[in-house]
Amino acid sequence: MSKILIVEDEETIADLEKDYLEMSDYTVTIKTDGKSGLDAALTEDFDLLILDLMLPEVDGYEICKQVREKKDIPIIMVSAKKDDIDKIRGLGLGADDYMTKPFSPSELVARVKAHLTRYERLVSSNQKSNDIIEIRGLKIDKTARRVYIDGEEKNFTTKEFDLLTFLAENPNHVYTKDELFREIWDMDSIGDIATVTVHIKKIREKIEYDSSKPQYIETIWGVGYRFKV
């Protein structure tokens, strides 16, 4: 369920917007001054912001600017004056949409829906690209479970892949062989920490230019290994 923040000092308008949005199953929070609105927008987790322009304490221009520096959620700006809308557009504050009051609440709901759909698509495509880890010439495709060095695919066993991916996802953290064994191998699997050493050696042969001077997986003598970035 998407969460929406309304920053609006005219409470009757805010309440009307809230009623319509709640009828469409959105969770709505109202802030009636600019300062608490800005605080909420920056510190709480909202999926969309409906922002009035003229507000006590901190105005909508400033809120829009500050929120945009930190978050990429859709921002719909509303104002009583058509001239103001033109001005906001001109300022390029990064709002996604503009509406002039009075507007029909169902028009607002329609625009909210459209922006949230677009935003969710954006977020999920970003998540997809997170399934690729790229560090210098090394590329790990977690979805396809493939590893490439300078564009050339290297064959990895399941455990080699799991071990490399785990280390690459937790860079600069030193893990003992014991920790890695527990992380990658099942508790009841046959083997011991020497298994880790063997796998690290095999991974290095595949990804390092020179296994004796590893640039990815570094040995921390007497402790374990870490992935360097």
Shortest Cβ 12–Ca ion spacing (Å): 12
Shortest Cβ 52–Ca ion spacing (Å): 4
**Cα gap 4→109, rounded to integer Å:** 11
Shortest Cβ 82–Ca ion spacing (Å): 15
Residue 74's SS3 state is coil
State which residue, 47 or 52, has the beta carbon closest to Ca ion.
52
Residue 33 touching Ca ion (CB under 5 A): no
State which residue, 52 or 160, has the beta carbon closest to Ca ion.
52
- Choices 47-55, 105-113, 145-153, 182-190 (CB under 5 A): range interacting with Ca ion: 47-55
Residue 9 touching Ca ion (CB under 5 A): yes
23: DSSP letter = H
Shortest Cβ 58–Ca ion spacing (Å): 12
Shortest Cβ 57–Ca ion spacing (Å): 12
Size of the residue set binding Ca ion (CB under 5 A): 3
Helix axes 193-207, 158-169, angle to 10 degrees: 80
Residues in the chain, overall count: 229
Q: How far is CA 1 from CA 4, 27, 45, 77, in A?
A: 10, 7, 12, 22
**Cα gap 147→161, rounded to integer Å:** 8
State which residue, 54 or 109, has the beta carbon closest to Ca ion.
54
Residue 99 touching Ca ion (CB under 5 A): no
Q: Which helix (H) or strand (E) holds 52?
A: strand 48-52
Strand 97-100, strand 132-135: pairing = unpaired
Q: Which residue is nearest to Ca ion (CB)?
A: 54
State which residue, 54 or 116, has the beta carbon closest to Ca ion.
54
State which residue, 30 or 163, has the beta carbon closest to Ca ion.
30
**Cα gap 76→63, rounded to integer Å:** 12
Helix axes 193-207, 177-184, angle to 10 degrees: 90
Shortest Cβ 165–Ca ion spacing (Å): 51
- Choices 5-13, 103-111, 145-153, 185-193 (CB under 5 A): range interacting with Ca ion: 5-13
Site for Ca ion in 51-90 (CB under 5 A): 52, 54
- Choices 45-53, 105-113, 119-127, 161-169 (CB under 5 A): range interacting with Ca ion: 45-53
The CA-based dihedral angle spanning residues 189, 192, 193, 198, taken in that order and rounded to the nearest 10 degrees = -80
Contact footprint for Ca ion (CB under 5 A):
9, 52, 54
